[in-house]
Structure 1
Amino acid sequence: MTLTLQSLSVTRQNGRETLRDVSLTVAPGEFIGLIGPNGAGKTTLLRAAQGLLPATGTSSLAALTPTQRARAAAFLPQSREIAWDLTVETLVTLGRTPHAPSEADATAVAKAIDQMALTPHAHRRATRLSGGEQARALIARALAQETPLLLADEPIAGLDPAAQIATMQLFAQLTTEGRAVLASLHDLSLAARHCTRLVVLHEGRIAADGPPEQVLTPQLLAEVFHITGSFVFTDHGALFTPTGLT
């Protein structure tokens, strides 16, 4: 599925415009990192794209019926709260809700649990896991949905370094299978390393859109993030390192 946003804007009840005339296309095979400082509009964009917020403009995803939308895109919200005392396996199985029950359900659930390295915890109560393990369980639930598009709001927040890298590698792997990922991220180093494209939001508008090496320029880093940084290519891939404040 290709997600197409056209002139998408969101204005809050207090009159503040938090998203301004955003046009964006997310195509199969792309892992797009949505980056920007706090309050830039990243969460607003992800939610408005699904029709979860009143907005002007158009979104090809929001135009679908709720059932069609659930089969087209999985959403991992920023909140990591697990309210129900379910086993990890049962929690992940909830990701299969948009699909008619079939023999594929058990396979998809087991695969998602394995992908997030949670197989030893499959029968534990999710509420008794550590915070990072709970976050991984919720990612597994989104993976079990097996949608062509994954929308994730700060998916690696709260994960340890190994889990952060593994999750980013997994998302990149999904795109080689023809799926698309749009994820808001604060770790510019991991975004530069694993994303095929970066979209920078600043004050509700797109400030830059392109390959990481073309986006993370000294000028943009200074104007948007108020930092300096170093971008280099190595035998291990692209490496970006924040070096200071401007």
Structure 2
Amino acid sequence: MTLLSLENLTVRRGECPVVDGVTLTVGEGEFVGLIGPNGAGKTTLLRAALGLLPFTGRSSLAVLAPADRARKAAFLPQSRDIAWPVTVEAVVTLGRVPHQGALSRQDDRAAVDRALARMGLGNFRARIATALSGGEQARVLIARALAQETPLLLADEPVAGLDPAAQIRTMQVFADLAREGQGVIASVHDLGLAARHCTRLVMLEAGRIAADGPATEVLSDPLLSRVFGIRGHHAETPDGPVFQPLATTR
């Protein structure tokens, strides 16, 4: 089942297209890594797909009423700010707002418990969120998005600022969601993490899709050199695929 469909999606700043004619689908069971250099249009694409920016073309999410959209897709933005000194549990419970009136409080509590457990935050629920470290606050906000329990999750640089263990755990959580039948599309700068955990990579170059497919195809030497200006090393190991950037090419 298709969870997100974009057709010729274009976002302009003045006359300049930041996202240029992107056509893309994301289905159940997919963990799509959105990759590309800074300024390639990754954040703009995610926000436009949700109808948060003006665009031309079509997005299957943007045409929905806001309440329906919030039940179809959760969004984790780059911003990691928690403004109010409330408990971790209270922050994560905000992810249940789109379902108010449709489900029981018991359902909401169970969803919050699942989200806290996935992010390893079970012992943090009573702590004040603003008193946590930046990385811990980031995990709380990921848990809030998970608690929304939507068919699709869109995440903008979800592992930025996390320590290595938390980065791996977060990518594993997203991969688990995909294996359970949800869809995930996340912008990721760490190509090694993307190659290891994503079922599919979409590479953006100057707002256009330069490649779309499995990591072994997308992270080819010619594409890496052209789009990122790097070369890398690929290996298949007993623990799965490994990719490591090695050097610049320009």
TM-score range, shorter chain: over 0.9
1:58 partnered with 2:61? no
Residues 163-242 of structure 1 mapped to structure 2, 5 A cutoff: 163-242=166-245
Letter in 2 for 1:179: Q
Percent of aligned pairs with the same residue? 64
| Cα distance, 1:72 vs structure 2 | 0.2
Question: Counterpart in 2 of 1:107?
Answer: 110
Letter in 1 for 2:73: A
Question: Counterpart in 1 of 2:94?
Answer: 94
Residues 39-78 of structure 1 mapped to structure 2, 5 A cutoff: 39-78=39-78
| Cα distance, 1:185 vs structure 2 | 0.2
CA deviation profile, 1:154-199 (whole Å, cap 9, x unmatched): 0000111001000101100001111000000000000000000000
1:10 partnered with 2:16? no
TM-score, normalised to structure 1's length?
0.98
Letter in 2 for 1:237: G
Residues 112-151 of structure 1 mapped to structure 2, 5 A cutoff: 112-151=115-154
CA deviation profile, 1:78-111 (whole Å, cap 9, x unmatched): 0001111111000000000000241200111111
CA deviation profile, 1:189-240 (whole Å, cap 9, x unmatched): 0000000000000100000000000110000010000011011111111100
The CA distance in 1 between the partners of 2:141 and 2:3, in whole Å, is 24
CA deviation profile, 1:31-81 (whole Å, cap 9, x unmatched): 000000000000000000000000000000111110110000000000001
| Structure 2: gaps spanning 5 or more residues | none
Letter in 2 for 1:76: L
| Equivalent pairs, count | 245
| Cα distance, 1:121 vs structure 2 | 1.2
| Structure 1: gaps spanning 5 or more residues | none
The CA distance in 1 between the partners of 2:144 and 2:197, in whole Å, is 22
TM-score, normalised to structure 2's length?
0.97
The CA distance in 1 between the partners of 2:100 and 2:50, in whole Å, is 22
| Cα distance, 1:16 vs structure 2 | 2.0
The CA distance in 2 between the partners of 1:51 and 1:6, in whole Å, is 13
The CA distance in 2 between the partners of 1:208 and 1:5, in whole Å, is 16
1:157 partnered with 2:144? no
